[in-house]
Each structure stands twice: as C-alpha cells, then as structure tokens.
Chain A
Amino acid sequence: MSRRHEDAIRLGIRILVAAALAGLVVLLFQGRARSAELISEGTLETLLDSPLASSTARLEEAEALLQRDRRHRWETALRQALEVAWTAGSDRSVRGAISGARELYRTVLTLRKRTPVETEVFALLDAEVRAGVGDESLRSLHARLLEREREERMRTRLAEIRKALDAGDLMRARMGLGLLRERAPTHPELTRLEDAWADLDRRERGSRESLIEMEGETRPGQAARAAALLLEEVPAGCGSSRGEGEPSLLCAAALYRAGAREEARTLLARLSRGDGGASETASRWLRDPQLFPERVWLRARWRGRVRRVLGWLGGHSLEDRGLDVSSRGLRAWRGAMSPLNLGLSVPLRIARGRMPNPTRLRRAARFYLEHDPHGRSAGEAREWLLRTRPDRVERRRLALYQDGVLELPKARTRYSPVYARPLLVTTALLETGKGAGTEALAQRLAAAEAVVLTPAPPGPPADALVLSTEEAIQVLHALAEAVEKGRAHSLKGSTDEAVDALRRLTGLVRGGRALHAHPWVQPSASSRKQTVLALLEGDPARFEQVGFHRGGDDLAVQRPLLGPNISCPSGLVCLDRIRPIQGRLYGSLGIEGDARLGVETRVQGASLRLEMSEAGPLASLFLPVGALLGIDQWVPLEASVRVSLAGISVAPRLDARR
C-alpha cells in the first residue's frame, strides 16, 4: 500500500471517530431533554389521566392540589416554629435557634406567594380556558389564579424599579416605569416612582455640571470667605446659606468655631442630604464624636435605660449579658425567669430604684462635657456625674495622685512572693502542736481564732507579741514538722508553698529579724443588710459563719461544724490542723414551702448525711470508690446508699463538688 493510501485511510478513520463522538453527544443531549420532559409531565399527568377526563373532576383535582400545597406550607411553618421553640428552650445552640428563626421568617413571608404548583395548575387551566373548555367553576378558579399571577408580576416589577432607582440605574428604572405605565397607568405607586426618577435625574445632571469645575478653579468670593474663616470670622453670607454647595462647609466650620454648634449642625444636616463630596464631608463631620459629642452621650443614655430595665428584671447577670446574642445571654434570661426572681427580687429592685453600673454613662458624660461643656444636654450629663459614684477603675485613677504626687497602690496581680509572707496559724493547730513553744503561744493568745506571725513590720499593732529568736525558731520548726507529718495543711495553696513560707520566715529570723505574733479574728463577710441585698440579687452571701445561697426556686443555708470556717486573707499563708472529721449543718426552703434540714459529717472522703424533710427522714452514705480504686483524679466516682421510708437504694454517682 502506498503512502498516499495510508494517509487517506488514516484521515477516514479520524473522520469516523469524530462523527461517532458528535453523534454520541447529540444522543446524550436528546436523552437529557427527554428525561426533563418526563419529569415535568409528572405533575400534569395527574390532571391528564383518563379517569379525570371531565372538567369537574379536573377542577376538583386542581383544587385538591392547591389545597395540599397550602397545607404543606403551613405544616412546614408550624414544624419550624416548634423546632425554634425547642432549640431555644433546651438551650442547645443559640446559633441554631437564630438560624431556625430566620428560616421560619422566610417561610412565613412565602406563605402568601405563588408556588410552582400553583404556577403549573394555572398553566394547565389557562390552556383549557383559552381553548373554550371548562365550566363556570373552572373558569372562576382560573380567574382567581390569573389575578394572583398579575399581582405577583406587578410586585416583581415594582421591586425591580425600586432596585434600579436605589442603584442609580436611570436607564433600567426608566424602562421599568415605561412598562408599568403601559400595563397599570393608574397604579398608586406610579406617580411616586416617576417623581423619584425625575429627582435622581436632576441630581445626576447637577453633579455632572460640578465635574466641569477645573482644578484650582474657584467660585467668585471663595478666597474672601476662606480668608475670613482663617481669621476666625464668620464669612459674609453664611447666615443666608441654603445649605447647598461647598460654601456651606465654610459657613458650618465658621459657625462651629464661633460657638454656634446648633446652627452648624443644622447647616451640615441640610448639606449632608445632598450629593457629592461636600455632602459626604458634612456627613462625616456630623458623625465625628469629637465635633458633636452629644450623640455619644445620647446613645450611652439610651443604653443605660435599657440596662436599667434589664437590671430590674435579672440583676447584674442580665444587665451585663441581656443584650448578648450568645449562650451566656440566653442563660441570663433563663435565670431571670425563675419564680423567686420574678416574684420577689424584681419588685424589690424596682422599689429600691436599682441603677445600672454607671461606668459607661459616666465615661460618656465626661467625654461629652470635655468636648462640649455648654451643649444642649450638658446639664443632664453633669447631673448624672453628681448623682452616681465613680466605679472601681475610676476611683483607682483618681487615687493615683495625692496633691500632685504619684502614690502607687499595692499591686493587684497575684505573684509568688520571694520575701517571707506573714503566716496565719489557727489556735487549734497551735494547741495541738507537739512543741512547747506553740502551746505557750496559743495560751498567750487564747481569745483569738488564729494568730498571725509576721517579721517585724514597721509600727506593729499594739497587741502584737514579740517572740525571741529562740521562741520563734521553736514555733516555726514545730509548724513545719506538723505540716510535713500530715497533721497540718495549708488552707489556700499547696503544702509545698506552706513549707517554703516557713523556710523563708526561719531564714529571716536566723538573720536577726524579730518575729511578731498578733491575734486575728475573722471579719464578718458582710453585714445583715448586705446579706439581704445579696440574696435579693441572687448572689451567694455569708453572714458570720452561715453561708446563704439563693437558687432559682429555693434558698439554701449551711454552717460548718467542728471548727471555725476561716477564709484565708490574700497575701498570707494560712495553716490549720487537719481535722479527721468535718461537719456541717445545712438546710433549704423551697418556693412551694418544702423544707429540709440535715447534718453531714465527712471522714477521709466518706460522708454521712442525716436529713429530715417533708418526705420523712433520709440517711445517705457516700463512699469514695474512685479514691479507693486510685482513679479519683479522672473519675470522682462515689457509691451512694440511701435509706428512707420509701426503702433502700444503692447507686453510683460522680462527686458533684469535683
């Protein structure tokens, strides 16, 4: 075979392959079109079935289809509403609740709109009516659907026109208006939209004319007005300015600096409603808080009012988080809805005239008065500053200087000290100490709950006892031995920290510093009034040795037994003897009058509770199974045994305190 033959055969094969591929592509598209036809026929098949050949049957089926579609939409809306309520109520996810609410809103908006089912039914009925087929009822349904279709089209058209006007697309808006005038010349919105178009067109033409202005080209009199402004005078003609064009920026600046802020603001407001660079500058000046600080004050005042109401409803928690769209905000709202809060705390807060945290308002008031001391709301801002007290941060700022001299406070940051810290030792520990020094010290300061050992501070308290070096070392060694042998422990911090504190004190004493001991009495955490107020707010409180806690629907109290409940002051190391047995007395009173009273003792992790309530006596024993198995660190497992009038029960549980 010659080369020419081979080329011809090769070319022929290529043509055949290309044709086959093209044919395959055509077939594929034909198939897809065919399948689309089949799908779209699905709905109409129902109405074209032979059993529905009569007009009445088709009408009934059409109505049934529409009704089913309507019912489906309402069911969807109801289902979404239930989902939103469930998500919000169960506090699963705030984001989920919000997105569910958004979906529900969209569904509700579409309830009255046309759906694809309605469109298809209308298309079929339309074909029949045009063909002269169908009875009166069918025509009536068709007319109804036609009216809805026309309304939908009108809505769409109006939306498009508005969108075009907002975007400044004059051409598109003009076309839409033309069609609207042709189809609905008496539509109530037509005149308004045409006026809007004309207004926009006028403004565009005005702006185009200002573009003609050359660089550096100025209007007549501009230099004189600018010179007057630079000399801090009010330029001529500023009083009669109509608020259009750039000269008004000059006037506004002059009026502002001359103290006529309100006139300047009015001028700028008028100017900002126009178009162009001057109106943008005017808007920017109006928004500048340093030029017009009243906005800052008014906004802070409004937010203060909202937070005051939130504070009435839910105390500090709701005041701080009530406006947060988060799970914390949701929890704050749920906590505020408790019966005790609504029934007891809310009326009392309102009666007391509870005020919100004044920090933000004070800051806004100070800012306003600094920038506009003679402003419209200056008196109100001043009065607010006088009525409220500075918060902690502001008090700290004010206290930083005394007569112009910098006075540094003690640092709030908690750091591990390198210098020996004072030691607080309970009298109980001193009395049980093995060394004679500790017992003697306890006897000398018997009236106190505890003793503070401190290296010679300047000006020690009058009732301080100065220990000799020998005495001091004896006491410190005894305490160290008690800690190391497990007879004493640190009330706050680790045993190592306690040993380190003892070591440092000993080093100081050996270095020649004296050790002072003075009695210490625990101050009451709060007064009666403070305790009551804290309970009303829902905060935990402590009065003397009794702790109070108000829950959503009950009030709980407890008091430790078998020893003082010392709250270790900050900056001190506190040592107490390890008590083999601890106890507490507790009780609670519920909003429905259910009360309980009980006593609990704890020994080496196990606890025994004896409780009396309306349901009768209850004895509970909790055994630290997790500690016994050595897995306590990961799984604080306890075994609980309960004996009551209802019977005996045994069950595992996790230690709630851990």
Chain B
Amino acid sequence: MFALTLGGCATLRPFPRDRDHAETPTGERTLSAIVAELHLHLRDDTYRYDGGGSVGGHNVFALALWRLDRLRAQRARRPGARRPEEWENLDIVIEYARGRALERLRRYAAAREAYGLVAATGSRLADAAFEREEVMRRFARHSGRPDSPLRDAEEERAFIEGRIRTWEAFALEYHGTPFQSLAREKAEAGEMARVDWFERHRGVQEAIQACRRLVERHPASKLHANHLIRLGDLYAEAAHGMVLRSRANLRPFDAQRYEVFLDHAFALYESAGDQPGKRTRAEASNKIDALLAEHEGIRAHVP
C-alpha cells in the first residue's frame, strides 16, 4: 500500500489550486475580452436605464479604460516602444477603444485627443476616428466651464439656458445614435442646474415651476423618480415657509394654501414611490414619514 502510494505520487504532476485563470498575475485581460465587453455596452442607453453600462454595479467603461490604460503603459515600457506615428495595429486599436470608453464617460476632451491620435495614423480606424473626433470637439466645447467668469446671477442663468438649448439641439441632431443618450443626459443636467439657480435666486415658487418643467421634459429619464422627489421637497419647503412666516407674524397663515402644498408634496413622494427602483421607493417612503412627522408638529401650533 505504501509503495503504491509513493509510486502514485511520483507519477502525478503538480497542479495549481487556483482555478481562476481569468487574469494573469498582474490582473490583465487580453485585448479581445476588454474590447468585447466594452463593445457590448457601447449602445446602452444611459439616459433611460440606470443599469446601462454597469457590470455588477461597477461602471464597465471605467473598468475598460483602466485596463486599456494599463495595456498601453505596458506596451510603452517594452524595449523599442514606438511613438504614435510609428504605432502598430494593436496600439491603434487600444487607443481607439480608449476613445470610445472616454466618450461614454463623458470626458469629451480626452476622447477627442485619443481619436485625434488614431485619425492621424491613416489606419483602418482612422476615418471612424476622424468623424468621432469632430463630434467630441463639439461636445467638449459645450460641456466645459464658461470662457470667462460669470459676472452675475442673470449671466449664470443665461449660460445655463444656453447650454440646455445646445444639448437639446444635439439630442435632435444625433437622434438614433449612441450620442443621443449623452446629449439628453447633458440637457437634463442643465435643467437640474436651472432648478437650483431658481431656488437660490428667485425663491421656492419659481423653483417649483422650473422643477415642474424638468419633470415634464424628462419623463423617460432614469432620474425621473429623483426629480419627483425634488419637486416634492420644494412643495414641502413652500409649506414650511408659510408656517415660518406665520410664526414670525410676517403674514397670516393660509391653511388652505398650506394644505395644497402639503398635499402636492405627499402626492409627489407617493408618485416617486410608484416608480420602479428600490432605492427611490425607500427614499420616498422616508420622505413621507418625515413630512408627516413635521406636519403633526406644525398642526399642533397653527390657529
């Protein structure tokens, strides 16, 4: 028995325990896997869906960019590494893939640079890179900071409204392409900034109107429930403001108007809770509880 065991052991080869051979010792995947995973999500509508471009909760584009950057760095360290004008096919593919990832991460300036490098190579990817570079140039111009500091609130508002118009125009122009979802997201972000501007400079009532416009213009957005909650917050704030002014004797308490605001706030939180999404449902439920508690406290003191 002992001899048999020894003999058996002698004939067996050692084998590694770790069965996960997905990655080399430094965690690198080959280009095929990276590009395949990236390509699978390039057409995800990130405007409408929260899960668009997400793998296990992590942004697939950020992951792909990280891996491509490391591949690029490794190739740059090799002896005989070449400058862009002497790139091999593999380097061109890596750079183009980086551009695609940067584009989806809304880093338009960096994406433009990457496409520009590929467009200059004259390779098979050059034409496509050239077209995308033009789009990225336009996007980058309209998504950065203003050219000069804004002087006052009105100039800020004009800047925000200009951006909204620009991105809405882009969304129409690139309808049916993956650029459309990027443009819609930017337009939506502009509307959100507009609501914030009105709340800071014009008060709750006008912020409510601005937020209603945001909600009505973006019913298909993945952030729709969040917009409803935001509008509910504004109504709750309006109701609260009435109570404060009444307590400070600045204005008599209008119970009917207060109840209208309160009712709208509850209705909006409930509507947000009706939307799909566990997180927003939980947030809406918490908002309702908090407002209810605040209202009971107020009710005890109103005439």
Contacts and interface: CB of A to CB of B under 8 A. Distances in A.
B119 to A, nearest CB: 14
A257 interface: yes
Interface string B220-263: 00000000000000000000000000000000000110110011
Contacts of B276: 363
A410 B49 contact: no
Interface residues of B, number: 77
Interface string B27-67: 01111110111011001100001011001000000000000
A174 B23 contact: no
B125 A215 contact: no
B175 interface: no
Interface in A204-232: 204, 207-208, 210-211, 213-219, 222-227, 229-231
Contact of B32 (A250, A275, A504): A250
B21 A223 contact: no
Nearest to A507: B303
A122 interface: no
B97 A230 contact: yes
B40 A253 contact: yes
Contact of A229 (B35, B44, B123, B262): B35
A410 B19 CA distance: 59
Contacts of B259: 417-419
A247 B33 CA distance: 8
Contact of B292 (A222, A275, A415): A415
Given A226-B97, A230-B96, A277 B29 contact: yes
B271 A396 contact: yes
B40 A223 contact: no
Given A213-B30, A285-B40, A401-B219, A227 B262 contact: no
A415 B295 contact: yes
Contacts of B51: 290
Contacts of A406: 212, 215-216
| B interface secondary structure, majority | helix
Nearest to A500: B299
B93 interface: yes
A412 B292 CA distance: 12
Interface stretch (B1-9, B137-145, B183-191, B196-204): B1-9
A34 B267 CA distance: 81
Most buried by B among A178, A217, A223: A223
Given A216-B74, A230-B93, A410 B267 contact: yes
Contacts of B123: 227
Nearest to A256: B40
B89 interface: yes
Contacts, number: 188
B32 A281 contact: no
A196 interface: no
B86 to A, nearest CB: 15
A419 B255 contact: yes
A229 B71 CA distance: 18
Contacts of A182: 4
B270 A277 contact: no
A416 B296 contact: yes
Contact of B264 (A404, A408, A419): A408
Interface string A168-209: 101100110010001000000000000000000000100110
A280 interface: yes
B288 A413 contact: yes
A355 interface: no
Contact of A222 (B5, B23, B28, B32): B32
Given A230-B100, A401-B216, A411-B266, A277 B23 contact: yes
Contacts of A222: 30-32, 90
Interface in A441-491: none
Nearest to B125: A227
A292 B26 CA distance: 32
B39 A276 contact: no
Most buried by A among B30, B92, B219: B30
B69 interface: no
Interface in A391-450: 393, 396-397, 400-401, 404-406, 408-413, 415-420
Nearest to B262: A415
Contacts of B270: 411-413
A210 B25 CA distance: 12
Interface in A360-398: 363, 393, 396-397
Contacts of B31: 218, 222-223, 226
A249 interface: yes
B36 A250 contact: yes
A247 B30 CA distance: 10
A87 to B, nearest CB: 35
B93 A223 contact: yes
Contacts of A281: 22, 33, 36-37
Interface in A253-289: 253-254, 256-257, 275-278, 280-281, 284-285
B22 A215 contact: no
Given A406-B212, A411-B266, A215 B36 contact: no
| A interface secondary structure, majority | helix
Nearest to B88: A223
Most buried by A among B12, B24, B29: B24
A252 interface: yes
Contacts of B22: 276-278, 280-281
B256 A419 contact: yes
A216 B36 contact: no
Interface in B55-105: 55, 71, 74-75, 78, 88-90, 92-93, 96-97, 100
A291 interface: yes
A126 interface: no
A246 interface: yes
Given A222-B30, A227-B96, A411-B270, A168 B19 contact: yes
B168 to A, nearest CB: 15
Most buried by B among A256, A406, A409, A504: A406
Nearest to B72: A216
B302 A418 contact: yes
B8 to A, nearest CB: 6
Contacts of A252: 36
A219 B32 CA distance: 10
A227 B266 contact: no
B120 interface: no
A311 B110 CA distance: 58
B205 interface: no
Contacts of B275: 397
B136 interface: no
Contacts of B40: 253, 256-257, 285, 291
A223 B96 CA distance: 11
Nearest to A249: B36
B128 interface: yes
Nearest to B96: A230
A216 B75 contact: yes
Contacts of B176: none
Interface string A2-28: 000000000000000000000000000
Closest 8 CB pairs of A and B: A277-B22, A411-B266, A253-B36, A223-B89, A249-B36, A419-B255, A226-B35, A413-B266
Given A250-B35, A256-B40, A410-B267, 13 more contacts: A215-B24, A223-B92, A246-B32, A257-B40, A275-B21, A277-B29, A280-B22, A290-B51, A408-B264, A415-B262, A416-B296, A418-B259, A418-B298
Interface of A: 168, 170-171, 174-175, 178, 182, 204, 207-208, 210-211, 213-219, 222-227, 229-231, 246-247, 249-250, 252-254, 256-257, 275-278, 280-281, 284-285, 290-291, 363, 393, 396-397, 400-401, 404-406, 408-413, 415-420, 504, 507
29 contacts: A178-B8, A204-B16, A207-B19, A207-B21, A210-B21, A211-B24, A215-B28, A216-B28, A217-B30, A218-B30, A226-B32, A227-B96, A230-B128, A246-B30, A246-B33, A249-B33, A249-B37, A253-B35, A276-B22, A278-B22, A280-B22, A397-B274, A404-B216, A410-B267, A413-B270, A415-B266, A418-B255, A419-B258, A507-B303
